[in-house]
Amino acid sequence: MKKPALPWPEKRFLSELRAVGDSSYHDKHPYHVLMNAGKLDRRQVQGWVANRFYYQSQIPIKDAAILSNCPERDIRRVWIQRIHDHDGLVNDIGGIEKWLGLGEAVGLSRAEMLSHIHLLPGVRYAVDAYVHFCRAQPWVIAMASSLTELFAPSLMSRRIAAFEKFYPWVKKDGLRYFRGRLTQAPRDSGFALRLVLERCRTRESQEAAVAALKFKCELLWAMLDTMYLAYVVNRKK
């Protein structure tokens, strides 16, 4: 009988996780490359904002699904902050409301955003698959999928700079969501990373965590593939 593989040392495990972002994070997708180079037109920017809003609207739902599987109160008390960040609290309107503000800043009405009238079927399918994944997987593995936030701050910084330089028609107040993520993403990813490194002690669980992160990267990439086809490829025809 073949012996199970030994767990990776923590340094190797961390390297495996970071390698996923280096190879697969969606900052390298052509849609983001065009956006950050100022080469998207108004409709292409609006299409991205409208479709990404469906993802934003489902983040609290996927985090609630993760919490429903987590039996540890101390971890739930930290993770629930993610729901507050997006749904908002009395003294903070939250990320969903800020994204609605981004929609208005690029010329979309609140009703358009909330109705998801511009939502592409491929984007809906990808986002729904992510929520299902987080509901079905063990809570630590589902949390590992959120480690895309390790790679988010640099993308957010480039995005803010690109919008300010190339898209002056976008009202500056619309960028509040991105500015908030510059501090929220490192906080959230730091906690998640420590938890995954601590709890995934077998090779099987470590490989499952890496696979979960890869799945999330592929999902974000698939969303942009759908938008690229609809707003760039078919736009040229």
Residue 92 DSSP SS3: strand
Tokens (6 digits) for 124: 């809906």
pLDDT tens profile 75-86: 999 999 999 999
Is residue 182 domain-resident? yes
107 within a domain of the structure (yes/no) = yes
Q: What is the pLDDT of residues 147-174, one digit of tens each?
A: 999 999 899 999 999 999 999 999 989 9
User: 59: Cβ–Cβ under 8 A, 6 or more apart, which residues?
Assistant: 82, 86, 95
Q: Is 141 part of a structural domain of the chain? A: yes
Integer angstrom CA distances of residue 100 from 52, 61, 103, 158, 182? 11, 17, 5, 21, 18
Residue 95 lies inside a defined structural domain of this protein: yes
pTM greater than 0.85: yes
State how many domains the chain has.
Answer: 1
List, in order, residues 6 or more apart from 202 with CB less than 8 Å away: 4, 7
Would you say residue 137 lies in a domain?
yes
Domain assignment of residue 104, given as a range = 10-236
Q: Which amino acid is at 154?
A: S
> 14 falls in which pLDDT band (50, 70, 90)?
very high
pLDDT band at 59 (very low <50, low <70, confident <90, very high): very high
Instruction: Give the pLDDT confidence score for residue 236 in this predicted structure.
Output: 59
In a domain, 3, yes or no: no
> Residue 237: pLDDT above 60?
no
Could you tell me the CATH number of the domain that includes residue 222?
Answer: 1.20.910.10
Task: Indicate the SS3 state at residue 89.
Answer: strand
